[in-house]
Structure 1
Amino acid sequence: MPFAVIPVLDLRGGQVVRAVAGKRAAYRPLGPGDSVLVETAEPLAVARAFRGLFPFGVLYVADLDAIEGRGDQLAVIRALASALPDVELWVDAGIADAAALEALLAVPRTVAVLGSESQRDAGLVRAVRDEPRVVLSLDWRGEKPQGPAELFHDPALWPARVIVMTLARVGTGGGPDVARLRDVLARAGGREVYAAGGVRDPADLGALRDLGCAGALVATALHRGVIGRGDLERLVAP
């Protein structure tokens, strides 16, 4: 199975923001000097810039407004889905109940990312773990898991795809959280495990592939041009 590199768009107030260390209050819109791919923070332009670099089949979208309980970017997500008919959107919109999940999945070609940090208990994940359009994100801040402990300790609750999200490493270039990924992989059975946070360069992506990860979420290294088209063509080869 090919290794998947999944570009990330963090949305706030209708713009793509630059994520650093999971400190969301400090996130600012992409601006001059932040990206070699695009000169605007407009979401569709950023998505198309990623696609201009490489024909990514999946983009990851974090709706920070929804995650923080300050409205949502569902209209932007709908516009992205409409404009990019050959792209699947993995969306973390702070979903914590069935109604919010249904609203997101009504948008074509979306996959709902259920962030552990947004869950009040394990009930929703338990109820939808067999839904093919659901991914679980196991979120950590430092060494502290975010969300119900049951989600971290009981792999029977995990859907077919699981993200290991180390928020403190997001946008820092600090390197992937290999020890935590190795632990989750050891307990994942046949599930696909995706790394999120800290990817610096093509060598990190290669190491994650060799570790057994199904893919990795990346933003900063793509915007900086550290990971280029040639690297992607080599890494995603079967």
Structure 2
Amino acid sequence: MRVLPAIDIRDGKSVRLFQGDFDQQTTYPIDPAVLAQDYARAGFRELHLVDLDGAKDGHRRNLQTIDKIVAAGDVQIQLGGGIRRESDLRELFSAGVTRCVVGSVAAADPRLVSSWLEEFGTGAIVLALDVRVQNDEPWVQTHGWTRSAGITLWQLLDAYADCGVVQVLCTDVACDGALAGPNAQLYRDTLDRYPAIELQASGGIRDIEDLQTLRGCGASAAITGRALLDGRISNSEIEQFLRVA
């Protein structure tokens, strides 16, 4: 299982949100580009970047910061936030982004995103299908988790059934930034229903044991932000984990 440090960027700063709430933000006193270099030196080969301004309103205002990270060329970059059009994909791939994460439009227009998967390949696009669990059903959230798509995760994944082995990044919003542990049961249920997808698990990871749990669930990758920023997972722990992940 791969592990990707998350760098959430808002107004050019490294931040973390609590349960996706833009009013509950923690700002970290480190430049996102410097943080990316630190992760590269720690041995990570991939980073997960999120343009939170883009995710919220579709206006990607952190391009200069993102370009600086990509230009360093130290690691592969997976980027999400505000990607709404095919022209966005072409621009980011041309800039050196390895994978683009598509969220709101993946829920709103599966036919369009399916055409992108065919055009660019399933290895280049990740579907960000983030959920709030209500009455035991995972309901998909969009626009930086500020709106419900009115559709369950299962219904949306059915819409992509003919696209082959798709990459899906799934976050239980209630877990995100809470350091209360990931929703392992959600990931088990998802892979039981859709064993062909490559699942990236995100939200709630607090320690190395949670990463081990996610590996046991069958996740292809795990994304963690606050646990690394707060030092809850040490470089030595992650180095040992990655040897066998």
TM-score with structure 2 length normalisation? 0.83
Matched with 2:183 is: 177
Looking at structure 2, the residues matched to 101 and 158 of structure 1 have their Cα atoms a distance apart, in angstroms, of 20
* Paired amino acid for 2:108: R
Secondary structure at the residue paired with 1:163? Answer: strand
Higher relative contact order (CA 8 A, sep 6+): 1
Give the one of 39, 52, 57 matched to 1:50: 39
CA contact 1:22–1:167 (8 Å) conserved in 2: yes
TM value normalised by structure 1: 0.86
Give the counterpart letter for 2:229 in structure 1: H
Return the letter of the residue paired with 1:23. D
Check the 8 A contact 2:58/2:81 in 1, yes or no.
Answer: no
Larger relative strand fraction: 2
Task: Determine which of 137, 155, 158 is the counterpart of 1:153.
Answer: 158
Residue from 100, 108, 129 that aligns with 1:112: 100
Query: Counterparts of 2:111 and 2:27 in 1: how far apart (Å)?
Result: 35
1:88 aligns with 2:88: no
Match of 2:85 in 1: 97
Name 1:18's counterpart in structure 2.
Answer: 16
Decide which of 110, 117, 134 is 2:125's aligned counterpart: 134
2:27 is aligned to 29
Query: How far apart, in 2, do the equivalents of 1:205 and 1:155 lie?
Result: 27
**Cross-structure match for 2:220:** 214
- Give 1:5's match in structure 2, choosing from 3, 6, 17: 3
Mean Cα deviation higher: 193-202 or 97-106: 97-106
Shift of 1:233: 2.1
Q: Which amino acid aligns with 1:55?
A: G
* Alpha-carbon distance in structure 1 between the residues aligned to 2:80 and 2:52: 8
Q: How many residues align structurally?
A: 225
Tell me if structure 2 keeps the 8 A contact 1:139–1:165: yes
- Give SS of 2:84's match: coil
Q: Secondary structure at the match of 2:223?
A: strand
Equivalent AA in structure 2 for residue 152 of structure 1: L
* 2-structure distance, mates of 1:103, 1:205: 33
Q: Which residue of 2 aligns with 1:34?
A: none
Asked whether the equivalents of residues 119 and 148 of structure 1 are also in contact (C-alpha less than 8 Å), the reply is: no
- Aligned counterparts, 1:190-229, within 5 A: 190-229=196-235
| CA distance, structure 1, for counterparts of residue 112 and residue 243 of structure 2 | 35
Which SS does the other structure have where 2:222 is aligned? strand
Task: Give identity over the alignment, percent.
Answer: 29
Q: Secondary structure at the match of 1:190?
A: coil
Any idea what the Cα deviations from partners look like across 1:76-126, whole Å, max 9, x if unmatched? 21111111x131111112212212222222211431001147643212321
Post-superposition offset of 1:152: 3.4
Q: Which amino acid aligns with 1:41?
A: I
